[in-house]
Amino acid sequence: MWKKVLFLLLAGIVVVIGGGLAFLCLVKPAHAPASQVKVALTPERIARGQYLFERVCDCAGCHSQRDFTRVGGPEVAGRRGAGTVMSDFLIGLPGVVVAPNITPDVETGIGSWSDGEKIRAIREGVDKDGRPLFPLMPYTGYRAMSDQDAEALVAYMDTLPPIHNPLSKTSLAFPVNLMIRLAPQPAGTVPPPETGDRFKYGRYLVTIAGCSECHTPAEKGQPVPGMEYAGGQVFATKAGTVLTANITPDLDTGIGKWSEEFFLKKIYDYKEYAEHGAPPLAGPQAFTLMPWLAYSGLRPEDLSAIYTYLHSLKPIRHSVETHPGSSKTAEAL
């Protein structure tokens, strides 16, 4: 009798697993048809898009070649948007992960894409042909990006100099290659943020900047429930290993003791490096993936809104050693 029960149990498990795999193999990523919008390249829209690209979203952080021998990993001159193989630098990714060329080069970039297809990729996570993008690209956060900001971002991208840079395509290991099909979702229509409300505008900026994606610890690729923004996400790279800091307002292990003035000063300490020359060389203790150079160009009112939102979060006591084995502690973001 027990053998029959065991057999039925195992058979049921096989059916469930087989059915799940069959579903993942057959399911198509959820997305809407690309809009027919043609983004007008007005000076105001391009300027807003450049601010989003360079500062808030730090698109160049992944889609440009960077010099990680220096603090903050500044962009390599003349290679903005040309793309790079992320898995050549980040350790532990599930296969070959490529941040593609997003310049208007027709052969190796996105010069043949419509503006609607670009907006859809940014906010819904599918490429020109409807294939899912690996969610290291933070499109789950970009889904909250307003229609106006998405169009502005594309307007700026349309002005980038085309760079011919052939790259391989992302090739993920099983079962991640199937599981990511569930990540894309339609964005719908998203209204402009309420810039007059510091809390709401701060939440908007923090969301499209992807702060939670980096500052929430993860297990098996999934954020740990109840630990949002508490730090401890591990980034192992060929330049060093760094853990993200706790940015909840916990007084002892987070940023609860930071005044707004101190918060702004800490970000702006990198402004001179970003504006007036190369940052100093970075050893293991100074290595960071936090986009200090990008954020040092954020407007004071935007940083103040971000500060307001972060200080509204639930304080979580979680001590993080950001640079394991060194004297560097979690004072850094």
Pick the CATH number of 198-310 from 1.10.287, 3.30.70, 1.10.760, 2.30.30: 1.10.760
Rounded to an integer, what distance in angstroms lies between the CA atom of residue 137 and that of residue 97?
Answer: 10
Q: Where are the domains of the chain?
A: 43-182, 198-310
Cβ neighbours around 172 below 10 Å, total: 18
- At 34 the pLDDT is 94
- At 84 the pLDDT is 97
Contacts of 294 (CB under 8 A, 6+ apart): 54, 55, 58, 60, 61, 274
- At 112 the pLDDT is 97
- The tens place of each residue's pLDDT in the chain, 333 residues long, gives 444 433 344 444 433 344 444 444 546 788 889 999 999 999 999 999 999 999 999 999 999 999 999 989 999 999 999 999 999 999 999 999 999 999 999 999 999 999 999 999 999 999 999 999 999 999 999 999 999 999 999 999 999 999 999 999 999 999 999 999 999 999 999 999 999 999 999 999 999 999 999 999 999 888 999 999 999 999 999 988 999 999 999 999 999 999 999 999 999 999 999 987 778 888 777 789 999 999 999 999 999 999 999 999 999 999 999 988 765 544 445
- At 91 the pLDDT is 95
- At 139 the pLDDT is 96
- At 330 the pLDDT is 42
- At 141 the pLDDT is 95
- At 286 the pLDDT is 78
This prediction has a pTM of 0.90
